[in-house]
């Protein structure tokens, strides 16, 4: 079962009793937290929201932490520093729009983290193929789904994992997502789309942990930047003539412009 695999990975990789957990309101980070608790780790859960928008993930993370008896530290990300933060992310090596938006809030979360090891369910979504693109083009056969997975887990993709890891190292933290381990990959690569998403999305993980029964509802997949509306925060940069020096209409194009400029 996937719960035993996740527990084994954490037990072999994380020696400290006290751990940080980047917690959202979704299945992936919750399952990592449940695994750590079964190993008798002392967990402090960290979540965020911006100062402009409320967040399901933030509210659910607080609920989960209270229910499970974990410490909870919430961070309100200020949006007034967005321009300076964009430059900071650029210096970190962010390339794609996804990199910028997914790493951005953690510029403010990491200064609050006291524990050495930071656990996360980062990149687990790549196994399930639950995006619109994946469902339409890659859900029909196991071979197609594994093709999608191979692309998702390329080093330059993985939802900005490498850039997040750089940020963690800047704060002398060890960032670890057990879902990126080889034995987890082996587990999922034998399972097709229907098998892991029916009768409910991320079915194998939900049934492996009885702890999910403590909660009335645990949401299906949603992108970090969409739930927190960070994508809308970044859209305000379209009106900044210094950042948007080519008068682009999309943030992804602004990111490309700056990456190209940096290369020169």
DSSP string computed for 161-206: HHHHHHHHHHTT-EEE-GGGSHHHHHHHTT--HHHHHSSSTTHHHH
pLDDT above 70 coverage of the chain, percent: 98
Task: Identify the H or E element spanning 132.
Answer: helix 132-138
Q: Are 66 and 43 in contact (CB under 8 A)?
A: no
Inter-CA distances, 213 with 141, 207, 216, 263, Å: 31, 9, 7, 50
Within 10 A of 249 (CB to CB), how many other CB atoms are there?
A: 9
* Structure-token pair, residue 176: 């670890």
Within 10 A of 216 (CB to CB), how many other CB atoms are there?
A: 6
pLDDT tens profile 111-135:
999 999 999 998 898 999 988 889 9
pLDDT band at 243 (very low <50, low <70, confident <90, very high): very high
Report the pLDDT value the prediction gives residue 1, as an integer from 0 to 100. 86
Report the pLDDT value the prediction gives residue 35, as an integer from 0 to 100. 98
The Cα 182–Cα 255 span in angstroms is 32
Average pLDDT over residues 212-237: 86
Is 161's pLDDT higher than 90? no
Which CATH superfamily does the domain covering 2-224 fall into? HUPs (3.40.50.620)
Average pLDDT over residues 46-73: 94
pLDDT band at 180 (very low <50, low <70, confident <90, very high): very high
Average pLDDT over residues 167-190: 95
pLDDT band at 159 (very low <50, low <70, confident <90, very high): low
Q: Where are the domains positioned within the chain?
A: 2-224
Q: Is the peptide bond before 209 cis (omega within 30 degrees of 0)?
A: no
The Cα 202–Cα 28 span in angstroms is 9
**Reduced to 3 states, what is the DSSP secondary structure of residue 244?**
coil
Is 220's pLDDT higher than 80? no
The DSSP code sequence of 77-127 is E-STTHHHHHHHHHHHT--SHHHHHHHTTHHHHGGG--SSEEE--TTGGGG
Which residues, in sequence order, are CB contacts of 192 under 8 Å at separation 6+?
A: 141, 142, 145
Is 222's pLDDT higher than 90? no
pLDDT tens profile 76-99:
999 999 999 999 999 988 888 988
Report the pLDDT value the prediction gives residue 33, as an integer from 0 to 100. 97
Report the pLDDT value the prediction gives residue 112, as an integer from 0 to 100. 97
pLDDT band at 195 (very low <50, low <70, confident <90, very high): very high
pLDDT tens profile 64-79:
999 999 999 999 999 9
pTM over 0.85: yes
Report the pLDDT value the prediction gives residue 32, as an integer from 0 to 100. 97
When mean pLDDT is compared across 51-55, 140-144, 243-247, the lowest value belongs to: 51-55
pLDDT band at 264 (very low <50, low <70, confident <90, very high): low
């Amino acid at each position: 079962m996937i719960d035993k695999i996740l527990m084994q990975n954490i037990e072999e990789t994380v020696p400290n009793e006290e751990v940080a957990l980047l917690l959202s309101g979704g299945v992936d980070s919750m399952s990592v937290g449940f695994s750590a608790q079964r190993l008798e780790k002392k967990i402090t859960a960290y979540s965020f929201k911006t100062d402009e928008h409320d967040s399901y993930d933030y509210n659910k993370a607080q609920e989960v932490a209270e229910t499970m008896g974990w410490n909870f530290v919430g961070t309100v990300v200020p949006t007034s520093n967005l321009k300076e933060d964009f430059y900071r992310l650029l210096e970190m090596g962010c390339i794609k729009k996804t990199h910028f938006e997914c790493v951005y809030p953690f510029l403010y979360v990491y200064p609050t983290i006291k524990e050495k090891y930071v656990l996360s369910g980062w990149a687990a979504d790549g196994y399930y193929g639950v995006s619109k693109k994946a469902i339409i083009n890659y859900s029909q056969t196991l071979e197609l789904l594994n093709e999608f997975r191979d692309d998702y887990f390329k080093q330059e993709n993985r939802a900005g994992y490498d850039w997040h890891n750089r940020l963690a190292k800047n704060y002398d933290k060890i960032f670890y997502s057990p879902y990126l381990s080889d034995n987890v990959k082996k587990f999922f690569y034998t399972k097709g789309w229907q098998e892991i998403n029916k009768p409910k999305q991320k079915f194998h993980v939900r049934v492996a942990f009885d702890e999910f029964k403590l909660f009335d509802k645990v949401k299906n997949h949603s992108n970090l930047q969409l739930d927190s509306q960070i994508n809308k925060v970044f859209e305000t940069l379209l009106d900044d003539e210094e950042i948007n020096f080519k008068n682009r209409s999309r943030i992804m194009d602004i990111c490309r412009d700056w990456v190209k400029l940096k290369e020169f």
